[in-house]
Amino acid sequence: MPNLRLANGETVTYRMVMIPVLDAAGQVESWTNFVGPIHLKIRPTGRLLLGLEQCLEAGHVRAARALLDWSMMDLSGASGVSLSTIRRLEGCITSVSVANRNQVIGALRSAGIVFSLTDETTIAVSRGKRIAF
């Protein structure tokens, strides 16, 4: 959260978040970022949203599934990903392809799970009415 000097001479605290975006092989393809005044909430879209979703970990998926009261089989059915892939994903998310991770996260979001960026780097999991990251 650096202080930036504006063209008019005013100094304002800004929030800066840099997120890697992964390719299909799980390698860093590019970086995207958000820069905005500290009082503005981050409402990521596009590549920033994609990068943030790719930063989710196995614990986020387990928490989201628990909030929905879903079994691994329920998540498998909702996402179109095999049960064995769900098991691997919940053990070590990086052991699953980026495409499968995206399918699972999409299914959770469609079921009402909200992933929120709190502070600078913490991702919270909640159940909400609105589907947003």
Domain tally, the chain: 1
Q: How confident is the model at residue 51 (pLDDT cuts 50, 70, 90)?
A: confident
For residue 10, being part of any structural domain is answered with yes
For residue 133, being part of any structural domain is answered with no
For residue 69, being part of any structural domain is answered with yes
Q: How many whole angstroms separate alpha carbon 31 and alpha carbon 79?
A: 27
CATH at 72:
1.10.260.40
pLDDT tens for each residue of 18-38? 888 888 777 889 998 888 777
Find, among 114, 47, 59, 106, the residue nearest to 78 by Cα: 106
Question: Residue 27: which domain range?
Answer: 3-127
Q: How confident is the model at residue 133 (pLDDT cuts 50, 70, 90)?
A: very low
For residue 117, being part of any structural domain is answered with yes
For residue 76, being part of any structural domain is answered with yes
pLDDT tens for each residue of 67-113? 999 999 999 999 999 999 999 999 888 788 888 988 999 999 999 99
Contacts of 78 (CB under 8 A, 6+ apart): 70, 107, 108, 110, 111
Q: Does 130 have pLDDT greater than 70? A: no
